[in-house]
Amino acid sequence: MKIIIGLGNPGEKYIKTRHNFGFMVIDHFAQKHEMEFTQKKFKSFFSKKLVNDEEVVLLKPQTYMNVSGPAVKEAVDMYTCDLQNILVICDDMDLPLGKIRLRSEGGCGGHRGLESISTYLGTTDFSRLRVGIGHPEAEDPSGYVLSSFSKEEEGTIAETIERACLALRTWIFEGIEVCMNKFN
């Protein structure tokens, strides 16, 4: 079993914001694999399906980004899932717009969603796919992450989501090391 967690904020006003890049990626992955978020489970929108003989669970925590940890902990405990079999997708201001970076473990880099998950799991030993949103020039970072992408950025966003979904498939079927070699 593989558990993929897309991070974002619940609610209509956050749908197209930079901070919701994790939700955008997981929604596209779900669509490509005919998975639907028809249930609410683990304080999250939840979907589970066999994808080429691998059981895949998708979670979109509905607890706001900075308190994603309880939702992830509930799912990991319920499925007694090894941490090597979870992957968290989140935005990253330190990466240029459209760049993706995968890691098998590591620090949280000031990302409060990752910090919350790390606190609840008691470790940072879980895979993450960071999706670059760029860094604000002079804007307040909290306002920047809650801002929408511009029209000029839409093409880059679509390409990035496709690339991130390819990385997810690689992670599921070939593992994190192969995935990092192909996509970093």
Out of 19, 28, 33, 135, which one is annotated catalytic? Answer: 19
Half-sphere exposure of 129 (CA within 13 A, CB side): 36
Query: Residue 63 is encoded by which pair of tokens?
Result: 């607890």
| Residues paired with 54 in a beta bridge | 51
Cα 8 from Cα 20, distance rounded (Å): 4
Active site residue 19: yes
For 74, phi and psi rounded to 5 degrees? -60, -45
For 17, phi and psi rounded to 5 degrees? -85, 160
Q: In what order do the strands lie in the sheet with 2-6?
A: 39-41, 44-51, 54-61, 2-6, 86-92, 127-132, 100-103
Positions annotated as catalytic residues are 19
